[in-house]
Structure 1
Amino acid sequence: MDIAGSAALVTGAASGLGAATAAALADRGARVYGLDLPKAVAEAGPRPDGITLLGADVTEEAAVREALARIEADGAPLRLAVNCAGIAPSARILGRKGPHDLELFRTVLNVNLLGTFNVMRLAAESMARHEPDDEGRRGVVVNTASVAAFEGQVGQIAYAASKAGVAGMTITAARDLARHGIRVVTIAPGIVDTPMMAGFTEEVRASLAATVTYPQRLAAPGEYARLVTMIVEHDYLNGETIRMDGALRMSAR
């Protein structure tokens, strides 16, 4: 499917994977609309040409519908939705202060899993309203899981559960949306050098890089973005979760 001339919706677009993806799609001629929390949008500052940041909480139906209405009003057909928004707090099921906080678990699932589903379903509704191209294609949804979906480490119970849910939705979503000409693919990154890593020391970052089989380094956000563009342009990729992890298999700690 062609990227140029289409509208693309990218969540978590103020930084990290989302920002890199928004930039890559804009470079390829897409009209990109990035969603992020209003505070993150305000702090992000001006974006490059072709990228419009909109303040919205991905867990709220009204906010996402408002963003999609803005895209519709601007005229370019929505063909691509990329879900990058997510959070990754750490807590054990039973820690020194007692059992895992139930509200924290609920919040992680709400943002990572429900937020992904909310954007996917509403973006698909918008895509389905547009005329298909000559081969019946209307759009692509790319979701973001994590290798933690398969090998969650100590303290990642909420994060692992939420990302396993994203991976688990993939084939069913692809089957549900096939009749509308919409593909669904999930990326499961390993350790990526995003702003979430900024708080770690160089020693910790080096030790994390050493756990990767090859290449023995952290992934760059731009590598995730390139995989998104490849998925969009490769029409036979559908219903699959693709690991982008340098053959990393996470240890327990």
Structure 2
Amino acid sequence: MSFEGRSAIVAGGAGGLGSATVRRLAELGFGVVVVDIDEDRARALVRDVGPRAVFVAGDTIDDDVVERAVDAAGELGSLFATVAATGVVIRAGRMVEEDGTLLSKDAMRANFDLHVLGPFNLARIAAGAMGRNEPDSDGQRGVIVQTASISAFDGQATMVPYAAAKGGVASMVLPMARDLAPRGIRVNAIAPGAFGTPRLTDPQIQAMLVRDNTFPKRVGHPEEFATLVETIVRTPYLNAQVIRVDGGARLRADMTQG
């Protein structure tokens, strides 16, 4: 399968999972649009990747940002793939703390804006552009990859807003795939466990996070996430799935438990 003449958008593209995905897609022949709010890291990545990559600053919750990204993708080739690679955990707390403090609604709202509304907005606008592509022999015109989390299924204490948002990502995959099937657009999601990104470099925290892994007993490499994105993009028969990549982890109820 050749991807020359095609383009992709990676939201959160300057992050650990996103940057590995940008590099892999560019290696496959895609022109790649990096969408991120971290301009310094995004511009450094684009310089490193070379002419196959361009940067659009902003957040996918903003229609103008997504439309600029779609336009930029169109300059690089026909838009065939989008990846929402945001995996940032917005810290919250327990529903009711020991002192009686209640969990703020703002924590829930912030998680849903970042993890659900932004990826949904990217998908809906990009799908409009993908639907204008010439179909391949399967009738395929594009593929959307979302990022859920194993927290959607094994949500731990203090993680209600994050788990709820990532559960929202997981639960919209099937109906989104059904909505877009007539246009020849597939939708899948990756549910990562603990990955060794720039936000997760502390060896003690890494060791705590992988206690529940079956095998291997390590954090994931961002390149493994990118390889799974490649597999999804390359496999037309893979649709409407949420795929865990977590070393077989099943999280305990409370991360602080021994």
Residues 143 and 187 of structure 2 are in contact (CA less than 8 Å); yes or no, is this contact kept in structure 1? yes
Q: Deviations over 1:73-104 (max 9, x none)?
A: x1510000001124312222122471112122
**Which residue of structure 1 lines up, in the alignment, with residue 114 of structure 2?**
111
**Which residue of structure 2 lines up, in the alignment, with residue 121 of structure 1?**
124
Aligned mates of 2:6, 2:15 — CA distance in 1: 22
Q: Deviations over 1:31-62 (max 9, x none)?
A: 0111001xx12244233122212102111112
Aligned mates of 2:113, 2:141 — CA distance in 1: 28
Q: Deviations over 1:186-238 (max 9, x none)?
A: 1100111112213x3x2232232232110111001100000000111111100
Match of 1:158 among 157, 161, 165: 161
- Is residue 2:187 matched to residue 1:189? no
Deviates more, 1:85-94 or 1:145-154: 85-94
Match of 2:95 among 70, 93, 96: 93
The runs of 5 or more residues in structure 1 that have no matched partner are none
Total equivalences in the alignment: 248
Aligned mates of 2:219, 2:78 — CA distance in 1: 35
The runs of 5 or more residues in structure 2 that have no matched partner are none
Q: Deviations over 1:132-166 (max 9, x none)?
A: 12331100000000000001111111110000000
Aligned mates of 2:251, 2:210 — CA distance in 1: 12
Aligned mates of 2:86, 2:208 — CA distance in 1: 26
Q: Return closer, same or farther for 1:164/1:9 CA change in 2, 3 Å cut-off.
A: same
Deviates more, 1:12-21 or 1:125-134: 125-134
- AA paired with 2:15? S
SS in 1 for 2:162: helix
Residues 137 and 181 of structure 1 are in contact (CA less than 8 Å); yes or no, is this contact kept in structure 2? yes
SS in 2 for 1:166: helix
**Which residue of structure 2 lines up, in the alignment, with residue 240 of structure 1?**
241
Residues 142 and 187 of structure 1 are in contact (CA less than 8 Å); yes or no, is this contact kept in structure 2? yes
- Is residue 2:71 matched to residue 1:69? yes
Deviates more, 1:90-99 or 1:171-180: 90-99
Aligned mates of 2:242, 2:41 — CA distance in 1: 32
Tell me the TM-score normalised to structure 1 length. Answer: 0.93
SS in 2 for 1:85: coil
Q: Deviations over 1:112-141 (max 9, x none)?
A: 001110001111111012221233110000
Residues 56 and 68 of structure 2 are in contact (CA less than 8 Å); yes or no, is this contact kept in structure 1? no
Residues 84 and 143 of structure 1 are in contact (CA less than 8 Å); yes or no, is this contact kept in structure 2? yes
Aligned mates of 1:249, 1:205 — CA distance in 2: 15
- Structure 1 position 107, deviation (Å): 1.1
- AA paired with 1:216? K
- Is residue 2:3 matched to residue 1:3? yes
- Structure 1 position 66, deviation (Å): 1.8
Identity of counterpart residues, as a percentage? 38
- AA paired with 2:40? A
